[in-house]
Amino acid sequence: MSRVLGLGTDIVKLARFHKIVTRNGLASRQTEAFAKKILNVDKEMPLFNKHVKDDDIDKTVRVLAGRYVYNLRLIGISATNISSWAMKEAVFKCLDDKDQYGQKFKDWFKYNELNGRPKIGGLYLEKFPNEEFLLSISHDEDILIASVIRQITLDK
């Protein structure tokens, strides 16, 4: 049996992230610092760095905003999909104030199970193994929305 603990939703415009990257420059210290604040060092930064190196601003923006769905095994990363700013905002919105304390965007990441179902991973879930975050992400052109339900399994 499970009980819902919270619900979070966030909407992102890709143009917002495009402005940030173009204003600061694709390979600038500011863009890299921004990426390091929000991207998981193991699961997301390698793909971000690949697109910066390839000078591909659109794919870099998609990694930051979260629209980019990519099979990371192609570049040797174990997770199957890149996570999103919108997902991380939605996760924070479903946490209690006390649970938000000390959490950082870069501590969370999105991956997909073999059947394609999106999952959320992170350090928080190691501390609270009875909790689960259910995720839905949808996008249309320049708009991305993420919804997250936080639940606890009572019979574990």
Q: What is the pLDDT of residue 2?
A: 94
Which residues constitute the domain of residue 65?
Answer: 2-153
Q: What is the pLDDT of residue 67?
A: 52
Q: What's this model's pTM, rounded to 2 decimal places?
A: 0.77
Distance CA 14, CA 65 (A): 6
Q: Which residue has the higher pLDDT, 66 or 131?
A: 131
Share of the chain above pLDDT 90, in %: 31
Chain mean position to CA 1: 27
CATH code of residue 114: 3.90.470.20
Edge-to-edge strands of the sheet including 2-13?
A: 2-13, 143-153, 131-140
Distance CA 58, CA 117 (A): 25
With bands split at pLDDT 50, 70 and 90, how would you rate the model's confidence at 76? very low
Place of tokens 């975050």: 133
Number of domains in the chain: 1
With bands split at pLDDT 50, 70 and 90, how would you rate the model's confidence at 96? very high
| Closest among 78, 26, 28, 35 to 54, alpha carbons compared | 26
pLDDT tens sequence across 6-26: 999 999 887 888 888 889 888
pLDDT tens sequence across 44-60: 888 889 989 999 888 88
What is the three-class DSSP state of 18? helix
